[in-house]
Amino acid sequence: MGLPALQGDYLPHGRWACSPAEVEAAFVAGRGPERAAIWRDWLKALSLLKQLVGTVPAAWLSGSFLSSKLVPGDIDSVFVVEAADLQAVRQRPQDWSIVELLAGGNGAKDSLGLNVDSYILRWCPSSGANPEPGTDYYALRGYWDDLWVRAKDSDARRESIPRRGYVEVMIDGYK
């Protein structure tokens, strides 16, 4: 694990596996109080989600937080959570409403006051290359991967070309 240096404003193209400590060392430490506050908010969102679902194998992080931008507005996160753990929480309506906030983009910001745009990728473990019937896991995994390697651009075609990297923060690991 480890993070490469930024190339220009962004990480090099690809998904880079790392630990939370490596993200903190690369994008928080010594880079100002705003980044430290955003990182604390992400840790709070992660802690809250773990309290509700038990384990979070990983989280994908992207956006201006993982760039050279001096003062990002927030951090973009996709928490990877096993489908069975989400199904168990769904049986507890009060807890499920919080999970929905953490899964809904601006929900963590608007309702929980955290500078985190968070989403949840429902992980459906399966053997082989064929997904379990009725799951959208592979399509959504591809969607997030494609989105996180893009850089905003006024030219739509140029924006669609993979030009940046993102991180996969290993939390509880895939088990």
Q: Is the dihedral of CA 140, 146, 151, 155 positive or negative?
A: negative
Local confidence pLDDT in tens for the 175 residues of the chain: 579 999 999 999 999 999 999 999 999 999 999 999 999 999 999 999 999 999 999 999 999 999 999 999 999 999 999 999 999 999 999 999 999 999 988 888 899 999 999 999 999 887 777 666 666 888 899 999 999 999 888 998 998 999 999 999 999 999 8
- Whether residue 125 is contained in a domain is answered as yes
Domain that holds residue 64: 14-170
> Token digits for 20?
């939370």
Question: CA nearest 9: which of 175, 164, 169?
Answer: 164
- Whether residue 47 is contained in a domain is answered as yes
- Whether residue 7 is contained in a domain is answered as no
How many other CB atoms are found less than 10 A from the CB of residue 131?
A: 14
CA angle centred on 104, ends 69 and 124, rounded to 5°: 105
Any idea what DSSP says for residue 105? Answer: E
Domain count, the chain: 1
Q: So what's the pLDDT on residue 53?
A: 97
Q: So what's the pLDDT on residue 78?
A: 97
Q: So what's the pLDDT on residue 169?
A: 98
- Whether residue 25 is contained in a domain is answered as yes
Q: So what's the pLDDT on residue 44?
A: 97
- Whether residue 118 is contained in a domain is answered as yes
pTM: 0.93
- Whether residue 9 is contained in a domain is answered as no
User: In the block, which residue shows the tokens 């929900």?
Assistant: 107
